[in-house]
């Protein structure tokens, strides 16, 4: 199963780069990756567009 963090690392993205592309602060992305926060739908959709992961993986942190 691929998490947002594992996708980011496998594709050579830093947290700063992915956060910038998604239009959020790096701290926000960190909290999502650690499961401390759930992204709002608009952010989750931006992350799915960038990563190609399913929406459920971004919302829950794990790909199906």
Structural domains of the chain, count: 1
Dump pLDDT digits (tens) for 42-63.
Answer: 999 999 999 999 988 888 755 4
Domain limits at 18? 4-60
Q: What is the pTM for the complete model shown?
A: 0.87
| Dist. CA 9–CA 23, nearest whole Å | 19
CATH number at residue 19: 1.10.260.40
**pLDDT at 7 exceeding the cut of 50:** yes
User: Could you give the 3-state DSSP secondary structure of residue 52?
Assistant: coil
């Amino acid at each position: 199963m691929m998490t947002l963090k594992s996708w980011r690392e496998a594709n050579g993205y830093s947290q700063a780069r992915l956060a910038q592309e998604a239009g959020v602060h790096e701290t926000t992305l960190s909290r999502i990756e650690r499961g401390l926060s759930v992204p709002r739908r608009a952010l989750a959709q931006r992350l799915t567009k960038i990563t190609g992961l399913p929406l459920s993986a971004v919302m829950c942190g794990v790909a199906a």
